Amino acid sequence: MSESAQDGARDGDVWGRVDDYLEAALLPEDPVLAAALARNAEAGLPAIDVSPVQGRFLHLLARIAGARRILEIGTLGGYSTIELARALPADGTLVTCEYSPEHAAVARANLEQAGLADRVEIRVGAALDTLPRVAGPFDLVFVDADKQNNAAYLDHAIRLGRPGTVIVVDNVVRGGRVLAGGDPATDGTRRMFAALEQEDRVEATALQTVGAKGYDGFVVARVR
Ligand code: SAH
Ligand code: DHB
Ligand code: MG
């Protein structure tokens, strides 16, 4: 299998079929998430949301952390936002940063349909411009936007955290391309790993993942 097929393929791929099996075993039918994906597709958004089992992983992390305030960088149509916001208590809040007004409009509709609009605030604009006006502290931060700014996003996540804050960064392996770099996205992620090498404010690890969305990985970190 070519690297690009490993990275992106689903149909006929054992990773995708195992994800189907895990979804069937573990995840209940979810009309709200299904409707969100349908609306995303209808609106022409790229299908680069986290996978269903990854979304459930984020949800569980937020529950395990007892998160009451969550920050997300990179909303798209709000698929991961819904999973994270559902983990909040009734008085919890989530702030999500999205560059594209079109993506934000789709996410707003999906969050309304999910009954979560009252808990979620979408900050529209480049996250590097909107984050300086976001007030912390957050209990969990999910970084999933333009990868070339991952080092800066990690810095904001730490700054907006408190001891114990959980930070997750998506797409840090990209089919193994993180080894070489050479494009703006993986170079950005490599700068983030270089920063983590020197970073005293967090303890961090990274997990490689395979599944419906190919071969990739997450950083999981905890603010000291
Ligand atoms: N977290 C989503 C997927 C996000 S895809 C999910 O799993 O469902 C990445 C998103 O980041 C896209 O919607 C893209 O428009 C947005 N993005 C790209 N550059 C950005 C920037 N500079 N600031 C904020 N968002 C950005
Ligand atoms: C891309 C972005 C993502 O956040 C993701 O999970 C997969 C792919 C992308 O920009 O190609
Ligand atoms: Mg992602």
Region for 97 from its dihedrals, namely left if φ exceeds 0, alpha if ψ lies in -120 to 50, beta otherwise? beta
Closest ligand 2 atom to 74 CA = 4
For residue 202, the 8-state DSSP code is E
pLDDT at 7 over 80: no
Cis peptide upstream of residue 137 (ω within 30 degrees of 0): yes
The pLDDT of residue 13 is 87
In a domain, 202, yes or no: no
Q: Separation of 25 CA from ligand 2 center, angstroms?
A: 26
Nearest CA to ligand 2 atom 1: 48
Tokens of 217: 């990985």
Q: Tell whether 203 is covered by a domain.
A: no
Domain count, the chain: 1
Q: Residue 223: name the closest of 138, 96, 132 by CA.
A: 138
Give me the mean pLDDT over the 95-102 stretch.
Answer: 99
Is residue 86 assigned to a domain? yes
**Would residue 204 count as lying in a domain?**
no
Q: What percent of the chain has pLDDT over 70?
A: 95
The proportion of the chain whose per-residue pLDDT surpasses 90, expressed as a percent, equals: 94
pLDDT digits (tens, 9 = 90+) for 188-200: 999 999 999 999 9
Residue closest by Cα to atom 3 of ligand 1 = 49
Q: Domain for residue 4, yes or no?
A: no
45-to-19, 48, 60 alpha-carbon distances in Å: 22, 8, 26
**Ligand 1 centroid, distance to 126 Cα (angstroms):** 9
Instruction: For ligand 2, say whether the CB of 7 is within 6 Å of any of its atoms.
Output: no
Q: Is 115 part of a structural domain of the chain?
A: yes
Mean pLDDT confidence for 120-136: 98
Question: Is the C-alpha dihedral spanning 89, 93, 98, 100 positive or negative?
Answer: positive
Residue 121 is part of a domain; what is its CATH number? Answer: 3.40.50.150
What count of other Cβ atoms lies within 10 Å of the Cβ of residue 110?
A: 27
Q: What is the pLDDT of residues 16-55, one digit of tens each?
A: 999 999 999 999 999 999 999 999 999 999 999 999 999 9
Domain that holds residue 158: 14-197+211-223
- Which protein residues are within 6 Å of ligand 1, measured from CB? 48-50, 74-76, 79-80, 97-100, 103, 126-127, 144-146
177 neighbors 186 (Cβ within 8 angstroms): yes
| Average pLDDT rounded to a whole number, residues 92-96 | 99
Classify residue 2: in a domain, yes or no: no
Judge whether residue 166 has pLDDT over 70: yes
Verify whether ligand 2 is closer than 6 Å to residue 51 (CB atom). no
CA 144 to ligand 2: nearest atom: 4
Place of tokens 């993942």: 209
Bridge partners (DSSP) of residue 202 are 223
